């Protein structure tokens, strides 16, 4: 009997230790509010999108999107927790509830939107899939890659598009499928594969961040698919989906109105009714989203508008040197278009 009692005591102690680390909450927004952090699944290390720096702080477009959501919901862009995930883990981490939002250069597709149970917020980066090869191979187009060994990560639209492209063009290839991003990059740079394929922004990031000499590698001009990269949340929580959606629109809308993090305080005094609604001077929008009225103000002030976030992470002054192109404002020929704030 005594051994049973001791056993029971041990079990209770363990359960207490385990449960002490968790928290009780309602659906996603309640959970975020009670935990006090927004938990985002990000990349393990992709320059420009989600990459830890020397101090372990995550930097990148996706990381900043996460910080924007935290600024909107909790008022503080630093109240974030990042979960680095591989391509194979990202969906289960979101599905299981461990992460609140997936900001990890993930392509918006029909099956992911329906069968896999996710809702996609507005696209934060319009991209396309491409190939990177070594310059000394002398390849000028993807159509010359018949019979090549191609590095790709598993569980991605990249993998599927690659197969489709080669099938359509009646070419064959040998895939080298490695889950860890660092390993697949190593395999390409060590010459194990002839080409590396992923979103062109990812190719630029890999070349800038990992190549010992970036000029030895060239990104082929062929764009073989559309890859709209957008944050994703789970089905069944409209409230949280709306918050994430409108945080993105706030960043785009601010750039449309010319409001940046340095000028947002002055914008508070603006007479433009659109701006007054967006920044919470005219109350109502925050209440509709069940968050603070100053949500958009906090986003712009602490993280910046879309243009600032773009330039800071992947723009012309960064090693990636990506052009706005499709990611410019609609008024300038791009696809970034914020919905009306009313």
Partner 1 sequence: MNASSTRRGSAWWNDERSRELLFQALIIGVVIAVLAYLGHNATVNLRRQGIVGGFGFLSHEAGFEISPALIPYTPADSYADAMLVGLLNTLLVAAIGIVFATALGLIVGLLRLSGNWLVARLALGYVELMRNTPLVLQLFVWWNLLRISAPGPRAAWQVLPGVFVSNRGVAFPVPEYDPGFRWVLAALLVAILASAALARWAGRRQARTGRPFPVLSAALALIVLLPTVVFVALGAPFHLDIPQLGAFNFKGGVTVTPEFAALVFGLVVYTAAFIGEIVRGGIQAVSRGQSEAALALGLKRRHVLRLVVLPQAVRTMIPPLTNEYLNLAKNSTLAVAIGFADYFSVANTILNQTGQAIEAMTLIAAVYLSLSLGLSLLMNLYNRRVALVER
Partner 2 sequence: MADIAHAALVRPLPQLYRWLRANLFATPLSTALTLLVLYVLIKVVPPLVDWAIVNASLTAPNEQACAARGGACWAFIAKWYRFILFGRYPYSEQWRPAVVVLLLIMLLVASCDRRLWGRALVLLWAAGVAAVAVLMGGGVLDLPGVDTDLWNGLPLALILAVGGLALGFPLAVALALGRQSHMPGVRAFSVAYIEFFRGLPFITVLFMAAVLFPLFLPPEVSIAKLWRVEVAFILFLAAYLAEVVRGGLQAIPRGQYEAAAALGLGYWRQMRLVILPQALRIAIPPLVGTFIGGFKDTALVSIVGLFDLLQDVAVGTNDPSWRGAYIEGYAFVAAIYFVFCYAMSRYSRSLEARR
Residues that bind partner 1 (CB under 8 A): 87-88, 90-92, 95-97, 111-112, 114-118, 144-149, 154-155, 159-160, 162-164, 167, 173-179, 183-184, 187, 190-192, 194, 234-236
Cα torsion 137, 141, 142, 144: sign = negative
1 lies in the binding site for partner 2 (CB under 8 A):
yes
213: how many CB neighbours lie within 10 A of its CB? 8
Q: Which is nearer to partner 1, 10 or 177 (CB)?
A: 177
Q: Quick one: how far is CA 207 from the chain centroid?
A: 19
Whether 280 and 296 have beta carbons less than 8 Å apart is answered as yes
CA angle, residues 153, 159, 160, in degrees to nearest 5: 160
- Nearest distance from residue 58's CB to partner 2, in Å? 12
Q: Which stretch in 58-66, 85-93, 106-114, 214-222 sits in contact with partner 2 by CB under 8 A? A: 85-93
DSSP 44: S
238: how many CB neighbours lie within 10 A of its CB? 12
Query: Could you say which of 42, 93, 232, 244 contacts partner 2 (CB under 8 A)?
Result: 93
45 lies in the binding site for partner 2 (CB under 8 A):
yes
217: region left, alpha or beta (phi > 0 left; psi from -120 to 50 alpha): beta
Q: Which is nearer to partner 2, 23 or 339 (CB)?
A: 23
- The terminus-to-terminus CA distance of the chain in angstroms comes to 68
Question: From partner 2, partner 1, none, which one binds at residue 26 (CB under 5 to 8 Å depending on kind)?
Answer: partner 2
Residues ≥6 apart with Cβ < 8 Å to 341:
249, 250, 253, 274, 277, 278, 285, 296
Question: From partner 2, partner 1, none, which one binds at residue 8 (CB under 5 to 8 Å depending on kind)?
Answer: none
Question: From partner 1, partner 2, none, which one binds at residue 191 (CB under 5 to 8 Å depending on kind)?
Answer: partner 1
Q: Which stretch in 25-33, 133-141, 265-273, 276-284 sits in contact with partner 2 by CB under 8 A? A: 25-33
Footprint (CB under 8 A) of partner 2, residues 173-232:
180, 182, 209-210, 212
Question: From partner 2, partner 1, none, which one binds at residue 84 (CB under 5 to 8 Å depending on kind)?
Answer: partner 2
Quote the strand ranges of the chain, DSSP E: 38-43, 51-52, 58-59, 80-85, 101-102, 118-120, 125-134, 149-152, 174-177, 195-199, 217-219, 226-229, 232-234
Question: From partner 2, partner 1, none, which one binds at residue 114 (CB under 5 to 8 Å depending on kind)?
Answer: partner 1
Whether 103 and 63 have beta carbons less than 8 Å apart is answered as yes
Q: Which stretch in 21-29, 62-70, 170-178, 238-246 sits in contact with partner 2 by CB under 8 A? A: 21-29
Question: From partner 2, partner 1, none, which one binds at residue 288 (CB under 5 to 8 Å depending on kind)?
Answer: none
């Amino acid at each position: 009997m005594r051994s049973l009692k001791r056993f029971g005591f041990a079990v209770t102690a363990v359960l207490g230790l385990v449960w002490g680390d968790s928290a009780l909450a309602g659906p996603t927004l309640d959970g975020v509010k009670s935990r006090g952090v927004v938990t985002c699944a990000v990349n393990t290390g992709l320059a420009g999108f989600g990459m830890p720096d020397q101090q372990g702080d995550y930097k990148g477009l996706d990381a900043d999107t996460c910080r924007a959501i935290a600024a909107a919901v909790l008022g503080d862009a630093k109240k974030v927790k990042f979960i680095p995930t591989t391509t194979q883990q990202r969906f289960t981490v979101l599905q299981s509830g461990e992460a609140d939002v997936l900001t990890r250069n993930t392509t918006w597709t029909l099956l992911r939107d329906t069968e896999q149970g996710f809702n996609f917020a507005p696209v934060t980066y319009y991209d396309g899939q491409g190939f990177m090869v070594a310059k000394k191979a002398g390849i000028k187009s993807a159509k010359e890659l018949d019979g090549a060994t191609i590095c790709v990560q598993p569980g991605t639209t990249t993998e599927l598009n690659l197969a489709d492209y080669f099938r359509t063009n009646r070419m064959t290839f040998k895939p080298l499928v490695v889950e860890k991003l660092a390993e697949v990059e190593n395999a390409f740079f060590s010459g194990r594969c002839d080409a590396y394929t992923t979103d062109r922004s990812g190719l630029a990031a890999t070349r800038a961040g990992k190549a010992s000499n970036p000029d030895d590698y060239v990104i082929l001009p062929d764009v073989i698919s559309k890859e709209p990269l957008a944050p994703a949340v789970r089905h069944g929580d409209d409230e949280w989906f709306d918050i994430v959606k409108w945080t993105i629109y706030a960043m785009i809308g601010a750039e449309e109105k010319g409001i940046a993090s340095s000028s947002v305080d002055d914008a508070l005094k603006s007479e433009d009714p659109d701006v007054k609604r967006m920044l919470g001077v005219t109350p109502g929008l925050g209440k509709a989203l069940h968050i603070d009225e100053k949500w958009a103000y906090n986003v712009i002030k602490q993280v910046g508008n879309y243009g600032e976030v773009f330039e800071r992470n992947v723009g012309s002054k960064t090693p990636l040197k990506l052009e706005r192109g499709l990611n410019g404002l609609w008024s300038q020929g791009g696809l970034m278009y914020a919905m009306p704030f009313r």
